[in-house]
Amino acid sequence: MKTIYLVRHAKAALGNPNNSDMERPLLEKGLKRTKRIIDFLHSKMTSVDLIISSPAIRALETAKVLAYALNYPIEEIKQERAIYFGDADKIGDQFYDISPSINYLMVVGHNPAITNFANMFLTQPIDYLPTSGVVCIELDTDSWDHILTAKHTIKFLVTPKMLKNHIEE
């Protein structure tokens, strides 16, 4: 069995003409919402074996917050430019080089690619995955090469709004 956690980065500052889109930092509101998600993840998962993130600051900061909370070494977060620049197919391409010893994988990325990739598995497609949203997919396979054809189960789709009663903003 393999498990994928698809995560959209936390809420970030709007674009600034003095900075590139890659440099947009997280907002405090985004961090608070991600903490709701972390509390939820602690109740649903035991560990993560690999975190792959877009190198954009907002995604990488989100990945670091999640890594810290899940006891994953921050320095081992793998940055992949294709997750920032790519589409759903580029996200899927990231899986071919993953060791079979990795069972729990987290991918932190951006819309529309992260939503489009999630929709490959969802029976009812979503329009967009909100910031800090997570889709957990469990795959009945021992190889990352077969994730698109493996039988799968959606374990959960969670957003900060669904958990709003847990923490005041």
> Domains, the chain, ranges and CATH?
2-11+20-99+108-166 (3.40.50.1240)
- pLDDT value of position 165: 67
For residue 18, which amino acid is it? N
Assess whether the previous peptide bond of 73 is cis (omega < 30° from 0).
no
d(CA 67, CA 35): 12
pTM: 0.93
- pLDDT value of position 167: 47
pLDDT in tens, the chain (169 residues): 999 999 999 999 887 777 788 888 899 999 999 999 999 999 998 789 999 999 999 999 999 999 999 999 999 999 999 999 878 888 888 888 899 999 999 999 999 999 999 999 999 999 999 999 999 999 999 999 989 899 999 999 999 999 986 544 4
d(CA 149, CA 121): 10
Asked whether 65 and 25 are in contact (CB, 8 A), the reply is no
List helix spans (H) across 10-146.
Answer: 28-44, 57-69, 81-85, 88-93, 113-119
- pLDDT value of position 12: 93
